[in-house]
Structure formats: structure tokens, C-alpha cells
Structure 1
Amino acid sequence: MTAPSRAAIQSACEALSDIDPALARAYATTGVPDWRTHAPSYVLLARTVVYQLVSTRAADAIWGRVEAFLGEVTPDRVLTCDQEKLRACGLSRPKLSHLNTIAAAISEGALDLARVEAADVEAARAELLAVKGIGPWTADLYLLYAAGKIDAFPHGDAALMEAHRRLGGYEARMENKAFSAHAERWRPHRGVAAHLLWGWVNAERAKAGVPPA
């Protein structure tokens, strides 16, 4: 797995603080955030698909059943298992289809995760998005966690938008398009901005005695 150096993250935090008061407040609260990392793997892509558009509690339960059923979540096991039993873990038919198309792309070499990790952020994102079942949010989280792309940014992430609203003192949360446009000013450190906002959210959750997101 790859992550930016702590010095690079700190430098980005300082630059972002000069650009956006909301991020300056987040940085003042959290300090240099820890970079979320995960091994570059099919597992991360599959898990992210499962967690889309459902509550964390429901996704935790579904993913736990998927892991218990497969034993090890690999492209080969997904492609060769009893599909109805896998779906019975709680997967919708579209999500089951996505797990299969992503597994097939990796098995056939159409999606090369080592190549994704080595490529620049735009080329890496394009390769991920070319696979049916990998949407922008899934691709961007993968680029952050598994490839350490410092400018990857999960557009449409509700937690980021709400954190920015609260830190910026805005009355209403920005719409997705407006938030993405606002985030353009954070280039080339949008991934650090995301980690600052996530770090602030978790600091607030800790104050309330709620587990981190």
C-alpha cells in the first residue's frame, strides 16, 4: 500500500489552511491527519461497492456474511461460487453483478491494480472507471486508500460536504456540483482536504462518544 509522507501531508495541510478557512479550522482541531491506507486489492473495491448507498450498520452485516461465505474474498472465489448463495448474503442484484464484473476485469487483465497504483491520478481513475461497477466514488476512495493519490477526491461524499458546511458556517450544504467546483481550489491536495474533513468528523464523533466513521 502507498501513502504520502507525513511531511507531504503536513505541507499540504498548511497550504490548504491558507486557501480555505473551513480547512484551517479542521487542521487546528486535528493536526496532521493519518492517511487511510489499504492494500491494493480486489477486496477493497468489492467492499466499497457493498457499502454504497446503505447504512454502515447494514453494510457491516452484509460484508460480514460475504466474508463468512467466501472465506477469502478474491476474484476467483466470487466468479466460481454459487451466485444465489452469494446474493443471499444481502447483496442486491446490481451489486452482485458489479462484484462479478470487477472480478472478471482483474482476472482477465483489463484492470491491472499495479498499473493503477503506478499511474498518475487521472490515468489511474480512467482505468478504474472503465470497469462496469466501479463508479466515481468507488474509484476515488480506492485511489486514496490503496494508491495514495494525494489529489484524488471522493466527489459526492456526504460526510465531507456536511463537515465542510459546519466548519465553514454555511447555512445549507452545497450541492454535489457546487462542492466539486469548490474543491477545485484545493488542487493538488484534494485528498489531504478529504482526510482533514474526515479527521474533524471523527474528532466530533469522539467528543460525542460515537465510534469513528
Structure 2
Amino acid sequence: MKNSIPVLLKKDKVFQQIIDLYGEPTISRRPEGFESLCKLIIEQQVSLASAKACYLKLESFLKKVTPENIIDVSDEDLRSNSVSKQKAVYLKELAKAIINKELDLKALTNKSEDEIKSELTAIKGIGNWTAEVYIMFCLQKEDVFPIGDIALQNTLKELFPVATKEEMMALSENWKPNRSLATHFFWHYYLKKRNREPLVY
């Protein structure tokens, strides 16, 4: 993905401005599979720091986060390990879909982004943001633009005269087919401006 930085620099001067301020972005990767999707479900609508603490507590309790272990653990035990009632339902729905072979995560790699998104969002608790971030970080697709992400929205509002998601999506057309890389630039800007580092776990 980093090989496309020169292409993006030619498309919009904002990317050079970000490099001048904060250097090149780190291109993060997460492994494909159940654990990464569980992390993303836990990360929905909470800070990454609290999501990390919750996931590590759950992992320590289960020893290994697998579909079978999630199905077997009680809702009470999930809640006592900081998983909300709603997210406990989502984790179990995901585990059930995998155990029942309704979802084959290994088979997603060779499918189109629309196909992947359709399969993932069919699972209760996985919306567009979760699916898009999985596609971007785990499957390394190069033209993903997770417009539901609040940090991305806030950065675009700071850097461009845009206010609505529709305006942001229209703006993103300029960065095709490298919108994943563009998103990494904007997240990089967002974190550096706030003296925060990317969270890895």
C-alpha cells in the first residue's frame, strides 16, 4: 500500500501537507480471522484504549478467543469481563455463524469488497464500519473508505470544507483507487495532532 504514496501525492496536496507536519503514516495490518472481528465488535463506539482493555481481559479469561469458547461462555461471564450485554450477543452471533458454516472467513480473501461486506453485515452486530475496517486492515483491500468512522469524519471536516457524509464520499472520489491509503493518512493526522499513538494489541 505504501508504494502508492507518490500516486496519492499527485492527486491532492493535502497528503504532502500531512507528511510535512507528521511524516508518513504507519500502515497497520491485522491478521484475518475470528479474533480480529471480535476486536472490531468490541471497538464499536468506544475508545480504542477501553476496547483493548476489554479484549485482553476477555482473552485472559478464555485463554483463547475461539468461536467454540465464545459460544460456551455464559453471558454473565462475558459481562463480568467488561463485555456489554449487546456486544455479548454480537460475539455469540458471529461465533454461531462460523460454527454453523454460514460464514467462512478464509474464503473472503478472493471475493469482491461488495461480496465481503454483504456476507459480514448479514451477521447481527456487524455493520458497515466493522466490515469496512476488517476489509481494510485484515484483507488489505486498497480502496476502502470507512465513512462511518468518527475520527475520519472529524479530520475531513478539519482539512476540507465538508460537513456531510455525502460531501465526504464525493470528495473521496478524487483519491480512488487508493482510498485505504488516504484513510491511513487522515487517521495518522488525527492521532498525531492529538499526541496519540496507534493502538496495537
Range into which the TM-score falls when normalised by the shorter chain: 0.7 to 0.9
| Cα offsets for 1:25-74 (capped at 9, x unmatched) | 22444555332111101111111111111233432332232112211111
| Cα offsets for 1:97-143 (capped at 9, x unmatched) | 11011111112221111211121222222221222221111101101
Partner residue in 2 for 1:164: 156
Pairwise CA RMSD: 2.1
Q: Distance in 2 between matches of 1:164 and 1:18?
A: 18
**2:201 equivalent to 1:212:** no
| Cα offsets for 1:128-161 (capped at 9, x unmatched) | 1222221111101101111000012212212122
TM-score normalised by length of structure 2: 0.87
TM-score normalised by length of structure 1: 0.82
**2:183 equivalent to 1:197:** no
Listed as ranges, the gaps of 5+ residues in structure 2 are none
Listed as ranges, the gaps of 5+ residues in structure 1 are none
Q: Distance in 2 between matches of 1:55 and 1:121?
A: 26
**Are 2:58 and 2:81, in contact at CA under 8 Å, matched by a contact in 1?**
yes
**2:69 equivalent to 1:77:** yes
**Are 1:10 and 1:32, in contact at CA under 8 Å, matched by a contact in 2?**
no
Check 1:10–1:16 CA distance in 2 against 1; reply closer, same or farther (3 A cut). Answer: same
SS at match of 1:24: helix
**2:174 equivalent to 1:181:** no
**Are 1:25 and 1:167, in contact at CA under 8 Å, matched by a contact in 2?**
no
SS at match of 2:86: helix
Give 2:169's aligned amino acid: S
More divergent stretch after superposition (181-190 vs 72-81): 181-190
Partner residue in 1 for 2:7: 15
Q: Distance in 2 between matches of 1:183 and 1:16?
A: 12
**Are 1:128 and 1:139, in contact at CA under 8 Å, matched by a contact in 2?**
yes
| Cα offsets for 1:1-24 (capped at 9, x unmatched) | xxx4xxxx333x333333333333
2:130 equivalent among 127, 138, 143: 138
